[in-house]
């Protein structure tokens, strides 16, 4: 009898867990769809700005800008921004990002300033013995362009003041619903666009700029940095929600399977108990008769 009561308690506990994980799955699905819409809406603009910068730089000669040119030939100090989540229950999302970022940090042979977005990343690096120079808490689950723009502007100002020779961001890049990849991308300095603009006959296209190319790039290059960083934040948010959606679906399915297994055990235990009681009644009647 005690075993039956224990199985009933476990069935009830598993059913409650299943309801919770199913609710979290539905919430994650709704958030994933909204964050995916934001990420896909900003990606064409980001790609177009990059393409326009490449076209301008390849069509003009002797382009000089501090966002293109590192202060020193090789980095002497680097700033690394790691984007993680504030909440868990999202599968291997945080562990994959932190594994890639940590491997990159340990490969560097010069001083590094580490900045982290998300409580999970801060707790991990403090436990691992890394010094977290700054924790960013202003972004939340829906990072706004204004907040990311302020951060990107600060990075550009400090890069221009030669506080850092390189700025990188580690995050989960969203490729598709079924594929996300942890990456460490260089934000500053911008890579000089390769020669482009070849026409069908192989000649280099010639451009006339109004205003001049230097003035255009002075406006477009900061936008490129800001939009690239904003796209990284959007990709990270989408990847977090899709990872949580998949993790909660797996948890819900596993809870359903466990509940079925426990119900079978309960039925067998109940059947055994009834059979034992019937045998006792029959045995008692035979003894009296």
Beta bridge partners of 113: 79
Is residue 93 within 8 Å of 239, Cβ to Cβ? yes
Superfamily of domain 24-246: ATP synthase, F1 complex, gamma subunit (3.40.1380.10)
Per-residue pLDDT, 97? 95
User: What is the model's pLDDT at position 229?
Assistant: 93
> What pTM did the predictor assign?
0.80
* Contact call for residues 70 and 166 (beta carbons, < 8 A): yes
| Helix 213-288 with 2-59: angle, nearest 10 deg | 170
Q: What is the 3-state secondary structure (H, E, C) of 134-194?
A: EEECCCCCCCCHHHHHHHHHHHHHHHHCCCCCEEEEEEEEEEECCEEEEEEEEEECCCCCC
Q: Which two tokens stand for residue 12?
A: 């009830």
Instruction: Provide the CA 72 distance to its chain's centre, in angstroms.
Output: 31
10-residue mean pLDDT series, the chain (289 residues): 82 92 91 86 81 69 67 76 92 93 91 93 92 89 90 91 90 90 90 49 55 74 90 93 92 92 88 81 75
Q: How far apart are CA 120 and CA 91, in angstroms?
A: 13
Q: In the prediction, which pLDDT does 114 show?
A: 95
Phi, psi (degrees; rounded to nearest 5) at 139: -95, -45
Residue 238: closest CA among 169, 167, 181, 187: 181
Task: Tell me the Cα Rg of the chain.
Answer: 29
């Amino acid at each position: 009898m005690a075993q039956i009561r224990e199985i009933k308690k476990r069935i009830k506990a598993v059913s409650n867990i299943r309801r919770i994980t199913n609710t979290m799955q539905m919430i994650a699905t709704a958030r994933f769809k909204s964050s995916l819409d934001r990420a896909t809406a900003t990606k064409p603009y980001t790609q177009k700005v990059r393409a326009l910068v490449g076209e301008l730089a390849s069509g003009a000669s002797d382009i000089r800008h501090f966002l293109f040119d590192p202060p020193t030939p090789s980095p002497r100090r680097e700033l690394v921004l790691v984007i993680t989540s504030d909440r868990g229950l999202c599968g291997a999302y945080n562990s994959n990002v932190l594994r890639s970022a940590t491997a990159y940090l340990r490969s560097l042979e010069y001083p590094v300033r580490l900045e982290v977005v998300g409580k999970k990343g801060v707790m991990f690096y403090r436990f691992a013995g890394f010094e977290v120079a700054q924790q960013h808490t202003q972004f939340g689950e829906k990072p706004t362009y204004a907040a990311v723009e302020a951060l990107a502007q600060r990075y550009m100002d400090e890069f221009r003041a030669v506080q850092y020779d390189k700025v990188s961001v580690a995050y989960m890049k969203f490729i598709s619903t079924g594929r996300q990849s942890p990456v460490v991308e260089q934000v500053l300095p911008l890579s000089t666009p390769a020669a482009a603009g070849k026409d069908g006959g192989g000649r280099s296209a010639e451009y006339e700029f109004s205003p001049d190319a230097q003035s255009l790039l002075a406006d477009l290059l900061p936008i490129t940095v800001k939009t690239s960083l904003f796209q990284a934040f959007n990709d990270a948010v989408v990847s977090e929600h899709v990872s949580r959606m998949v993790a909660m679906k797996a948890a819900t399915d596993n809870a359903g399977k466990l509940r079925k297994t426990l119900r079978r055990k309960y039925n067998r235990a109940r059947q055994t108990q009834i059979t034992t009681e019937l045998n006792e009644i029959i045995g008692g009647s035979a003894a009296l008769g």
